Amino acid sequence: MANARLSFELRKETRESIVSQFWGQYMQSISSDILKERWIAEQEGILKDYFKYYHDQVAIQDPLRSPGTLKTHKELFFFTDLLKQNADIPRTELTAACEMVYGSRPYSGCVMLTEGLRNLLARCSRAGRRINFDSALALAVRVLFAVNIPSTSQPRRNRMVVGQSNLVWAGRYSLREFLDDTFPMSEQTLGSGLVKIKRTKLRARFLENHADIEIEWTKHLPDHLKLETTGNRKILQIFELVSFLQVSYNATCAEDFNLPTSESIRLGCYRPRFLWETLKTMQLLFPPGDWNWLKSKKENYKQLRCHFEDWHGKDVNLRALTGAQLLRTYPYWAVRLEILYQEAEDPTPVSCLGRWAERRKAAWHSYLVAFWAIVIAVFFGLAATALSAVQTWITYQAWKHPINSSQT
């Protein structure tokens, strides 16, 4: 049912088509058609939250209100295929190739265009129907990688989205370059390189109860583990589409753990290492012992229970890690985990009383207190010396001029 309109509710057949289209590369290793159908059905059952996100993204593509938008899921699939097959091609070249084919001009460049996309462009050209290729590519990125980029590649023409980091896939960059820049592997040295990391202090429950950090859910993956302090609030954003990460990771189970970004994009996924690390952060935030607490915080909390199978055998016990080892094991998220850990160790105050007390912890305040303590000590020392001198003088005078009791 890939020909269903984007604005319609997702039927079971459409959901299965999405699974097959986005993560279907894995099915090439399954020989039996029955097993393939079973695998698709299993993934379709897991992806409840993702399908809601997918529908929210595509439902706004209303051709009546926004001319040039896509109409059906099948049309969107043509553009997701375009991304998967051209991971190293700049965005401007992708749109230029589509424009040439749409204009019935011969194209023999380096962009790989599927026969389905060529036929779609030819039909649209004959019917006089325009497609906004920039918008179509942006939508394909949003549904494939959960990165909410705007429709245009020109930053000045984009509207800022409140509550999320605003990213732009600039025209001169390929999708691989954009994703690598968005999720870099950190090479910096963490501040507490030799300090042991305590797993319990990275739990979301601990962060909320002891560090006054509020949990805010996001469907924008680049904001995962982002901690922001605004006014009297500290907000930790956590990516909630865990099922999307799990299915993507499962689809890469037969691949190299360090598969390059370009090869991963061809599978319609992030790198296996990146997916593994992100799923591990969910286990750090929500260990099994905190599931009852999580249930009180989020209605569909079961979708956040991370039960992924560690296909690549890279499981690591965080209790044994130092800050330096954390960086080597989790190069994508180590810096944000370190920031969280520092906040858990020494929480930033958000209340007026807390900020008042924090100001009195500053070094200059300690010096000021020490200065006045010395002044007071000197004052009382001088006062004591003066009092002793007076007492000595009185005693001397009493000895020199004794009072004869007989005179009275």
Per-residue pLDDT tens over the stretch 56-82: 998 876 555 566 788 889 999 999 999
Whether residue 203 sits in one domain with residue 145: no
Residues 98-151: tens digit of each pLDDT: 999 998 888 888 999 999 999 999 999 998 888 999 999 999 999 999 999 987
Whether residue 343 sits in one domain with residue 235: yes
pLDDT at 354: 52
Whether residue 22 sits in one domain with residue 137: yes
Q: Which domain holds residue 24?
A: 12-154+167-182
3-state percent helix, strand, coil for the chain, nearest multiple of 5: 60, 5, 35
83 occurs within a structural domain: yes
Whether residue 220 sits in one domain with residue 142: no
Whether residue 178 sits in one domain with residue 48: yes
82 occurs within a structural domain: yes
Whether residue 259 sits in one domain with residue 218: yes
Please, is 224 exposed, middle or buried when counting C-beta atoms within 10 Å of its C-beta (0-12, 13-18, 19+)?
buried
Look at residues 350, 369, 385 and tell me which one is the last residue of a structural domain: 350
357 occurs within a structural domain: no
174-196 mean pLDDT: 79
Q: How many domains does the chain have?
A: 2
Instruction: Give this prediction's pTM.
Output: 0.80
162 occurs within a structural domain: no
CA distance 18 to 77: 8
Whether residue 43 sits in one domain with residue 85: yes
324 occurs within a structural domain: yes
398 occurs within a structural domain: no
Asked if 114 and 81 touch (Cβ cutoff 8 Å), the reply is yes
258 occurs within a structural domain: yes
Whether residue 328 sits in one domain with residue 295: yes
